[in-house]
């Protein structure tokens, strides 16, 4: 049945593609990686003719018009572009983050670069942008795992030193459950809540550990409270097959329901139809939290990449109707450091990506890496201190942010010395902690979105960015050639 559905989807997709070329771009990343901000900035810069020198189609003036159109999938919520832009541009606050899947169609009219191209193509590309939580991708390994192995692995991970402390409450509750006792709805709910609280605690700032499956526990979308989500791993498991009305049997049924009603349809209906993918990562938060968080980010990225590699995984092979041929791994928020550190950030990200690619044994798509800021909230300057001239970044820190005992009011522009990233990425990957001499020393402040510049004629310019143009060139350049 899976295959028949895919075949229909594929035929429908191909038919529309003949009439007007479309490109489905997936935008993902773990929560708060910067998906919403990235999509808003991409669309804003294309609609308003932003400054994108490295995005050739735009900088050479071949794009005549870009505009929003009705999206093709009626059952998927629309990406709330207008609300997000109002927040960013008018209120200068960061928009609401991605909580579930959404979609937006941007149509680009352009003139082909070659005479041939101008004769052959209609010069119109529909870009379908699909925004979805990276947490949902981490569910892929569950498909080939039964409930007992899912439980065993969850318990093993919880025993690792980094997680042990935060897992304590959940382990205590799960240990107290006899797998053969009668199924109990209230207890199921408690187990779900305790496990979710543990997953949430792993993500807190100082730990900055990436999420573990089930992905919907932290990002439920519209499934909050449904039985397919009300389960959790057990510490003690029945020997052999559990009694049908027992606690473990109920957990198993719900786990299987989660896989067949939530995980599989998501991959089939959305992931299998993508042409290109950008994976956003908050590398700086991980770098700042230390080598364990960096290793953890690498692990999450490995698992994410595995979702785009049909071949090994038979479920994936059965559903993919087309192949993702380009993947961009992008570290956002580079505007929080001075441009002298941008290349360093990029090489750290490259190193994380290379290790993840090797571990995922990934091949088949071209993968590139960029350190960027979808929205640039700062500008650069220098401050003289004694005889030294220090590079600083200047922006309006958000109300309540603190640095060195000073608390900001959200209205005052301030110069901040952001610190340096280590010169070589190697230090971040060393086992047993970083070398203190090369430990990153970044001072983090969250800035408000920027005040948009106006030209002498009173025209408001589009959202400023760092290297968004490079990202666009990699993701779309060849489609607009
Ligand atoms: P999502 O969960 O992936 O949708 O993440 P968002 O796009 O909502 O971004 C999360 C937060 O990261 C935002 O509220 C901002 O504080 C910050 N952020 C995201 N992108 C940028 C950027 O390009 N520059 C800066 N300075 N901050 C960013």
d(CA 208, CA 287): 10
> Ligand 1: which residue has its CA nearest to atom 13?
94
Ligand 1 atom, smallest distance to 34 CA: 7
Tokens of 232: 């959790």
d(CA 319, CA 312): 13
Phi-psi sector, 451: left (phi>0), alpha (psi -120 to 50), beta: beta
Q: How far is the CA of 449 from the centre of ligand 1 (A)?
A: 10
Q: How far is the CA of 460 from the centre of ligand 1 (A)?
A: 22
Residue 45 parent element (H or E)? helix 35-47
- Interface confidence, given as ipTM, is 0.99
> Ligand 1: which residue has its CA nearest to atom 1?
32
Ligand 1 atom, smallest distance to 280 CA: 3
Tokens of 453: 């510049």
Q: Is 185 exposed, middle or buried (0-12, 13-18, 19+ CB in 10 A)?
A: exposed
Segment-wise mean pLDDT, segments of 10 residues, the chain, 481 residues: 65 67 95 96 96 96 95 93 96 95 97 78 90 94 94 93 92 97 96 95 74 87 88 95 95 96 94 95 86 86 88 81 89 92 91 90 89 96 88 94 89 88 71 52 85 80 95 97 89
* Contact indicator for 467, 370 with CB cutoff of 8 Å: yes
The gap from C-alpha 413 to its chain's centroid, in whole angstroms, comes to 30
Residue 109: how many other CB atoms lie within 10 Å: 14
> Ligand 1: which residue has its CA nearest to atom 16?
94
Q: How far is the CA of 37 from the centre of ligand 1 (A)?
A: 5
Q: Note if the bond before 214 is cis, omega within 30 degrees.
A: yes
pLDDT of residue 13: 67
* Contact indicator for 178, 225 with CB cutoff of 8 Å: no
Residue 359: how many other CB atoms lie within 10 Å: 15
DSSP code, position 322: S
Q: How far is the CA of 34 from the centre of ligand 1 (A)?
A: 4
Ligand 1 atom, smallest distance to 41 CA: 23
Inter-axis angle of helices 342-359 and 291-306, to 10 degrees?
Answer: 50
Cα-Cα-Cα-Cα dihedral sign, residues 180, 181, 182, 183: negative
> Ligand 1: which residue has its CA nearest to atom 22?
333
Ligand 1 atom, smallest distance to 98 CA: 4
Q: How far is the CA of 97 from the centre of ligand 1 (A)?
A: 8
Ligand 1 atom, smallest distance to 35 CA: 3
Q: Helices then strands (H, E): number in the chain?
A: 16, 12
Pocket lined around ligand 1, Cβ cut-off 6 Å: 29, 31-37, 94, 97-98, 332-333, 335-336, 373-375, 377, 446-447
Return the closest-CA partner of residue 86 out of 40, 130, 51.
Answer: 40
Ligand 1 atom, smallest distance to 29 CA: 3
* Contact indicator for 268, 245 with CB cutoff of 8 Å: no
d(CA 264, CA 272): 11
| Helix, strand, coil percentages for the chain (3-state, nearest 5) | 45, 15, 40
d(CA 226, CA 220): 9
Tokens of 43: 């669309």
Residue 29 parent element (H or E)? strand 22-29
pLDDT of residue 439: 57
Q: Which of 33, 34, 77 to mutate to test the pocket of ligand 1 (most atoms within 8 A of CB)?
A: 34
Ligand 1 atom, smallest distance to 374 CA: 23
Domains and CATH numbers, the chain: 2-132+270-376+467-480 (3.40.50.300), 139-264 (no CATH)
Question: Helix (H, G, I), strand (E, B), or coil: what is residue 204?
Answer: coil
* Contact indicator for 140, 313 with CB cutoff of 8 Å: yes
């Amino acid at each position: 049945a899976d295959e028949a559905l895919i075949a229909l989807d594929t035929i429908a997709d191909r038919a529309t593609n003949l009439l007007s070329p479309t490109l489905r771009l997936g935008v993902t990343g773990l929560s708060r990686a910067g998906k919403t901000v990235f999509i808003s900035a991409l669309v804003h810069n294309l609609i308003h003719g932003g400054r994108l020198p490295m995005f050739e189609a735009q900088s050479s003036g071949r794009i005549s018009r870009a505009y929003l159109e009705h999206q093709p999938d009626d059952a998927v919520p629309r990406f709330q572009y207008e609300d997000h832009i109002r927040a960013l541009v008018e209120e200068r606050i960061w928009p609401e983050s991605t909580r579930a899947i959404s979609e937006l169609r941007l149509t680009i009219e352009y003139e082909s670069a070659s005479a041939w191209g101008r004769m052959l193509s209609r010069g119109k590309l529909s870009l379908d942008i699909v925004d979805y939580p990276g947490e949902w991708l981490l569910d892929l390994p569950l498909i080939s795992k039964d409930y007992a192995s899912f439980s065993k692995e969850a318990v093993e991970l919880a025993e690792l030193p980094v997680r042990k402390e935060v897992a304590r409450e959940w382990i205590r509750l799960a240990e107290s459950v006899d797998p053969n006792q009668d199924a109990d709805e209230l207890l199921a709910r408690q187990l779900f809540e305790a496990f979710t609280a543990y997953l949430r605690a792993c993500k807190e700032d100082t730990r900055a550990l990436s999420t573990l499956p089930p992905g919907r526990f932290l990002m439920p979308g519209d499934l909050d409270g449904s039985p397919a989500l009300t389960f959790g791993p057990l510490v003690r498991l029945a020997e052999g097959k559990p009694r049908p009305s027992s606690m473990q049997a109920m957990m198993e049924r719900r786990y299987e329901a989660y896989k067949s009603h939530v995980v599989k349809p998501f991959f089939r209906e959305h992931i299998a139809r993508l042409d290109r993918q950008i994976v956003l990562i908050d590398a700086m938060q991980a770098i700042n939290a230390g080598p364990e968080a960096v290793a953890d980010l690498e692990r999450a990225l490995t698992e994410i990449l595995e979702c785009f590699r049909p071949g090994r995984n038979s479920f994936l092979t059965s559903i993919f109707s087309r192949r993702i041929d380009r993947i961009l791994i992008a570290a956002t928020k580079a505007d929080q450091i001075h441009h002298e550190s941008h290349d360093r950030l990029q090489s750290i990200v490259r190193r994380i990506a290379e290790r993840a690619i090797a571990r995922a044994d990934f091949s088949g798509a071209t993968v590139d890496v960029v350190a960027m800021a979808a929205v640039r909230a700062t500008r650069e300057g220098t401050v003289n201190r004694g005889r030294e001239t220090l590079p600083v970044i200047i922006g309006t820190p958000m109300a309540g942010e603190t640095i060195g005992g000073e608390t900001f009011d959200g209205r005052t522009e301030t110069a901040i010395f952001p610190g340096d990233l280590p010169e070589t990425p190697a230090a971040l990957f060393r086992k047993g902690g970083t070398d203190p001499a090369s430990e990153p020393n970044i001072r983090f402040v969250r800035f408000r979105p920027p005040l948009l510049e106006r030209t002498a004629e009173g025209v408001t310019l589009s959202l400023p960015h760092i290297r968004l143009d490079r990202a666009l060139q990699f993701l779309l350049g060849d489609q607009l050639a």
